[in-house]
Amino acid sequence: MQAYDVLHPRGALAGTTVMIRLHIHPDNTDSLFALAERISGDFDPGFFTVYLKEVGSYGGRRDGGYAVYGEQDLRLDEVKHRLAALLPGFARPDQPGQVAVCYAGKANAFTIRADGSIGKCTLALNSDYNRVGQLNPDGTLTLDAPKFGAWLHGLSTMDPADLGCPAHRVAQQAKRTARPRLAMAG
């Protein structure tokens, strides 16, 4: 809550909302229910929204290393309904029929790590191309404009692939622009 305490009283976030993304998987439901109760009791639904997202297998090296819900798993629906009931005024229903836009491709969506570093994608947490800035102690943000802008490419092209998962394009771009390292013979 430290960043919230700095920003909210100063009015720096007036007229905005902060989305809290809760990742759901079969092994964390009890802790999510407890967290939802805390959010409901301690947070302002006029300032915070909650986005419920199931953890999935997205082709990374850790796929299969953790439990995930299947696409037609009724337990996932039960968990989402219970979380929504615990979070009245916070949970947003999905809007069917719209182009899927990944949060990482939105200009107003960030991940903020414990060290204050700012990223765009939770699937590329430790990748350099994902680190787009820093949350400063006074509550201001310092952004690396070229790195941040790379994540927003889909907003200019409206390409569903870039909107749905900008990480693929950003990672490829980072590989192309990376400087090769020269090995020095000793």
More confidently predicted of 119 and 15? 119
More confidently predicted of 109 and 8? 109
Q: Are 101 and 154 in contact (CB under 8 A)?
A: yes
Sheet with 117-119, edge to edge strand ranges: 111-112, 117-119, 131-135, 141-143
Q: Which residue has the tokens 């102690």?
A: 137
Structure tokens at 175: 């590989």
Structure tokens at 93: 């229903």
How far is the first Cα of the chain from the last one, in angstroms, to the nearest whole number?
Answer: 50
**Whole-number pLDDT of residue 183:** 59
**Whole-number pLDDT of residue 13:** 54
User: Please, which pLDDT band fits residue 155 given cuts at 50, 70 and 90?
Assistant: confident
pLDDT, tens digit, 9 for 90 and up, residues 73-101:
788 888 888 888 888 877 554 544 556 67
Among 112, 128, 111, 129, which Cα is nearest to 120's? 111
* Of the candidate ranges 2-16, 49-63, 67-81, 121-135, the one whose mean pLDDT is the lowest: 2-16
**Whole-number pLDDT of residue 94:** 52
**Whole-number pLDDT of residue 93:** 47
Provide the residue ranges of all domains of the chain, joining segments of one domain with +.
Answer: 2-86, 103-177
Question: Using CA atoms, how far apart are residues 136 and 143, in angstroms rounded to an integer?
Answer: 10
DSSP string, 93-145: ---TTSPP--GGGSTT--EE-TTSEEES-GGGTT-GGGEEEEE-TTS-EEE-H
**Whole-number pLDDT of residue 149:** 92
**Whole-number pLDDT of residue 5:** 59
**Whole-number pLDDT of residue 52:** 81
Q: Does residue 136 surpass a pLDDT of 60?
A: yes
pLDDT, tens digit, 9 for 90 and up, residues 138-152:
888 899 999 999 999
Q: Which residue has the tokens 């796929």?
A: 63
Q: Does residue 110 surpass a pLDDT of 50?
A: yes
Q: Are 166 and 104 in contact (CB under 8 A)?
A: yes
Average pLDDT, the chain: 80
User: Which residues touch 121 (CB under 8 Å, ≥6 apart)?
Assistant: 102, 104, 111, 127, 130, 151, 166, 167, 170
